[in-house]
Amino acid sequence: MLISPESLFKDGLLNESDLNVCMLPETGQVDFEKTEEMKQRLLNKAYQLFKSSKDENLVNEYNLFCKTEQNWLTDFSVYSRIKRYYGGKEWFNWPEKFKLKDNQTIIDFEKSNQAEIEEIKWNQFIFYRQWYRLKEYANAKGIAMIGDRPFYLDYGSVEVWTHRENFLLDKNGNRTEVAAVPPDYFNEKGQLWGMPIYNWEKMKKDGFKWWGNRLKKSQQIYDLIRLDHFRAFSTYWQVAAGNDDAVEGRWKPGVGTTFFKSMKRKLGKLPFIAEDLGEITTDVEQLRKRFRLPGMKVLQFAFGEDLAGSVHIPHQFDSPDFIVYTGTHDNNTSLGWFKNETDANLKKRLSKYVGTEVNENNINSILIRLCYASIAKIAIIPIQDILHLDETARMNIPGKATGNWAWRADKEFIGEKTITWLKAETERYGR
């Protein structure tokens, strides 16, 4: 997150000594991602200003936020304070009474840490206040926000600590079964994600109340919601806790039709995109179609030996109810893919398909045009592909636990030439 220092000086949140700690000399900007400590100091200063300013309108707005969001905000704030109190340890490594959320222990902790908990609530208030302003601005410009909603939750998350009954945990809060996917395109040993499996039987009994609240909130934050790992609503791969990889697992039936009928009653029109990549079976496809959810097509998957019949090749798109991508956040950049993950035969098939020799100089423009020219309802192009960046700008490697999500676009990342080209392509294909 890059912010101009002038605004911080103006509000009294920075002084020169602060600036020396976190200034990026090459840009003259402040990079708060380099130091969590600096970010917390600034938030604390802003909070103190809020308390001393006696801005009645802002105070009323904050109080309304706390009341409206109380079903998650209190638990989140208490959890965050306890985690900070215990040096950032995950909840399952806290002392027993905190780990298992003993009622009196939590009440006593809230009383003795009330000021810190209130500040955490205020931080959330400011975040959502800024986010909704950004969303309003974007929507006014004709830009919709698409949010990514993971299927599973991290074991150390506030949701698992708060609602242990919704997950397959033993009486001590330990995982009994964990989430995974079997061996696939990305990993020969599968992907052992390690998140706890949902207690679907319990969730069914209360009409998927927790999921309903989760997706209602997502509906407020985003215009469309991408349901990651959609296939798990139909069937999911479950591995015993303690296994070293995802090879020895088993398929379990999901909650599919029952779940989406319930969500339709709660949410109205379902604002979902189904992430239906990987080994997709007929039942997964039928579930997606039954509830008219757009799926995903990825051109990097389209040019294998099965090109003529590939579900990802544009001439096989049988309806506009899809989102087409050059590649997703889990793929290499298109240039990185072409350089490092294709062989001579694939390059030959790709060249014959588009009617011209494909090389490192034109691969990006060719794939982008295939996306734009397709009948898919929406075309999504990663900014790295628009900028013609190689594998060093890759966002994520599935199955790799560290080193992901590190790439950032700098302030001057896009020039007039690229803007002009992209505008022309967008207009040419009616996007």
- Residues 272, 233 contacting (CB under 8 angstroms): no
Measured over the CA atoms of residue 102, residue 104, residue 106 and residue 108, the dihedral's sign is negative
Q: How far is it, in rounded angstroms, from Cα 327 to Cα 120?
A: 37
In the structure encoding, which two tokens stand for residue 31, read together?
């990079």
Q: Could you identify the residue written with the tokens 């409206």? A: 68
Measured CA distances, 298 to 10, 374, 382, 411 (Å): 46, 12, 12, 29
Active-site residue, selected from the candidate residues 18, 177, 276, 330: 330
Residue 350 identity (one-letter amino acid): L
Active-site residue, selected from the candidate residues 275, 276, 385, 425: 275
Is 16 a catalytic site residue? no
Q: How far is it, in rounded angstroms, from Cα 180 to Cα 236?
A: 8
- Residues 277, 306 contacting (CB under 8 angstroms): no
Residue whose C-alpha is closest to residue 273's, from 309, 330, 224, 308: 224
Is 159 a catalytic site residue? no
In the structure encoding, which two tokens stand for residue 101, read together?
């959320």
Is 330 a catalytic site residue? yes
Buried b (16+ CB within 10 A) or exposed e, 218-254: bbeebebbbbbbbbbbbbbbbbebeeebbeebeeeeb
Active-site residue, selected from the candidate residues 69, 102, 228, 283: 228
Q: How far is it, in rounded angstroms, from Cα 295 to Cα 283?
A: 14
Q: Please name every residue paired with 322 in a beta bridge, in sequence order, or none if there are none.
A: 295
Q: Give the strands of the sheet with 191-196, arranged side by side.
A: 191-196, 177-181, 235-240, 250-253
In the structure encoding, which two tokens stand for residue 279, read together?
């080994």
CA-derived radius of gyration, the chain: 24
Task: Work out whether strand 224-227 and strand 191-196 pair parallel, antiparallel, or are unpaired.
Answer: unpaired
State the catalytic residues: 228, 275, 330
